[in-house]
């Protein structure tokens, strides 16, 4: 995750971070008035922007997504859960290009080969689930909203935007940005990728953590799984203690995996 720190030294990356955040917020805020589940989430076509920006601007897009989400949250109500929203969106902007690099290396993300499409779908799926896991885990930890509501609505929302909208935007924008030499690789040539074996190990940990957190979070927060090793007072609604104990290790594993990539 060195790139997340290094990018702040580069003025162009700072500007691209602000632009990513502003673009995200600019689409996010008008759709605040179209709630899917009022008070929980709204229709978010804006969720296509972080994926597109991630492939273009890498770490700048990750921070930009987190900032854009904060701006959007100010218009739907900020709260302690927004700390998790910030981290979740940071991951949502960070995971796609990291997973793409681990799976497809330096390949062009707009190539239409089955392999590229598979890598793209994997990157979007892991990013969407990582984002949903962090928000669902955090909000259930604070007992504000159940994991099973947030975790599933966010996966649906993110996947819909990243699979149905983002490819069109990416297909139109990527070649232009590439020609203008404004990709993050052009801006920060000093960035060095980890050895491929380490990247793949990181990817495996990320996938294990992300899927594990999602499954465990859903089972525990709906009461379908009552872990026998937990005291009885923890295994009852709102399941904040149970979610903390069961889901947190998976979240840590996914963060470790991301760090290795």
* Backbone φ, ψ for residue 127 (5° rounding): -65, -45
Task: Select 116 or 222, whichever has its Cβ closest to other proteins.
Answer: 222
Figure out which of the listed residues 6, 110, 121, 173 binds other proteins, where binding follows CB under 8 A: 173
Q: Of the two residues 121 and 177, which places its CB atom closer to other proteins in the complex?
A: 177
Q: For residues 49 and 197, give the distance between their C-alpha atoms in angstroms, rounded to a whole number.
A: 30
- Is residue 79 near other proteins by the rule CB under 8 A? yes
**Vertex 226 angle, CA 220 and 231, to 5°:** 110
* Cβ-based nearer residue to other proteins, 201 or 230: 230
Contact map string, positions 92 to 131, toward other proteins, x by CB under 8 A: ----------------------------------------
The interface region with other proteins, picked from 73-81, 192-200, 224-232, 251-259 by CB under 8 A, is 73-81
Q: Does 149 bind other proteins (CB under 8 A)?
A: yes
215: left (phi over 0), alpha (psi -120 to 50) or beta: alpha
The DSSP secondary-structure symbol of 35 reads E
Cα angle 122, 127, 128; round to 5: 100
Strand, helix or coil for residue 98: helix
Q: Which is nearer to other proteins, 173 or 194 (CB)?
A: 173
Q: Tell which one of 2, 168, 198, 252 touches other proteins (CB under 8 A).
A: 168
Q: Which of 1, 4, 6, 76 binds other proteins (CB under 8 A)?
A: 76
Place of tokens 């947190």: 248
Structure-block tokens of residue 49:
């922007």
How do the residues of the chain divide into helix, strand and coil, expressed in percent and rounded to 5?
75, 0, 25
Total binding residues for other proteins by CB under 8 A?
64
230 makes contact with other proteins (CB under 8 A): no
Per the document, the length of the chain is: 261
Burial of residue 161 (CB within 10 Å: 0-12, 13-18, 19+) is buried
Stretch touching other proteins by CB under 8 A, among 37-45, 97-105, 113-121, 209-217: 37-45
Indicate whether 257 belongs to the interface with other proteins (CB under 8 A).
no
Q: How far apart are the first and last CA of the chain?
A: 8
Distance CA 102, CA 93 (A): 16
Among 136, 146, 217, 241, binds other proteins (CB under 8 A): 146
Min separation Cβ 103 and other proteins, Å: 25
Q: Which of positions 197-226 make contact with other proteins (CB under 8 A)?
A: 221-223
Query: Is the Cβ–Cβ distance between 209 and 251 less than 8 Å?
Result: yes
Which residues are near other proteins by CB under 8 A? 8, 11-12, 14-19, 21-23, 25-27, 29-30, 32-33, 35, 37-40, 45, 52, 63-64, 67-68, 70-71, 73-80, 142-146, 148-149, 160, 164-165, 168-169, 172-173, 176-177, 180, 182, 221-223, 236-238
């Amino acid at each position: 995750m060195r790139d997340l720190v290094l990018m702040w030294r580069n003025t162009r990356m700072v500007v691209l971070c602000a632009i990513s955040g502003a673009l995200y917020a600019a689409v996010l805020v008008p759709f605040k008035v179209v709630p899917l589940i009022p008070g929980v989430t709204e229709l978010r076509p804006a969720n296509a922007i972080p994926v597109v920006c991630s492939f273009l601007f890498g770490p700048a897009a990750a921070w930009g997504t987190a900032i854009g989400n904060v701006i959007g949250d100010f218009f739907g109500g900020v709260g302690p859960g927004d700390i998790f929203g910030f981290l979740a969106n940071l991951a949502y902007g960070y995971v796609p290009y990291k997973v793409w690099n681990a799976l497809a290396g330096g390949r062009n993300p707009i190539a239409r080969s089955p392999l590229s499409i598979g890598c793209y779908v994997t990157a979007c799926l892991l990013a969407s689930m990582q984002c949903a896991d962090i928000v669902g885990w955090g909000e259930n930890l604070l007992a504000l909203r159940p994991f099973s509501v947030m975790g599933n609505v966010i996966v649906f929302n993110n996947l819909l935007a990243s699979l149905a909208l983002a490819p069109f935007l990416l297909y139109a924008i990527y070649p232009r940005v590439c020609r203008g030499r404004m990709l993050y690789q052009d801006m920060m040539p000093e960035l060095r990728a980890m050895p491929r074996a380490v990247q793949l190990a990181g990817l495996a940990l990320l996938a294990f953590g992300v899927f594990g957190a999602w499954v465990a979070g859903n089972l525990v927060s709906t009461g379908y799984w009552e872990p026998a090793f937990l005291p009885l007072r923890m295994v009852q609604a709102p399941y904040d203690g149970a979610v903390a104990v069961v889901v947190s290790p998976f979240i840590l594993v996914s963060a470790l995996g991301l760090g290795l990539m």
